[in-house]
Amino acid sequence: MSTSPEHQNGQTVVALTKAFLSAQHEVRLFLMDDGIYHIVKNNSLGAAQQLASLSSEKMTVSICTQSAEQRGISEEACLETAAWFSQHELAKIVAETDRFLSFGN
């Protein structure tokens, strides 16, 4: 997801994640561009609390390191469970998944 917390995509992704997890599917969420603000702990518009409650063996959240660096976001400001990866890791996620959904502008 690359859209900011003000965009409806955040709630759509959370709803889909809940549905996929309840159907026993694995969910791998990769946040980049302004999508990284969804896991900033002090951002009341983001989905950090919801995503933290969903985090499990079947649900992982990754953040684009370059997007975070460009926006001055530190690891301490984000969910502790989020992994910090490059776009290379996103390419591996895409290659390994059965279905890939993209939420952007």
49-104 residue pLDDT tens: 888 888 888 999 999 999 999 999 999 999 888 999 999 999 999 999 999 999 99
CATH number at residue 80: 3.40.1260.10
Q: Is residue 58 part of a domain?
A: yes
Range of the domain at 16: 9-96
**CA 3, chain centre distance (Å):** 10
Q: Is residue 4 part of a domain?
A: no
Q: Is residue 25 part of a domain?
A: yes
What is the distance between the alpha carbons of residues 55 and 4, in angstroms, rounded to a whole number?
20
CB atoms closer than 10 angstroms to residue 53: 12
Q: Is residue 102 part of a domain?
A: no
Token pair of 104 as six digits? 């952007």
Query: For residue 12, what pLDDT is reported?
Result: 94
Looking at the 3D structure of the chain, how many domains does it have?
Answer: 1
Q: Is residue 1 part of a domain?
A: no
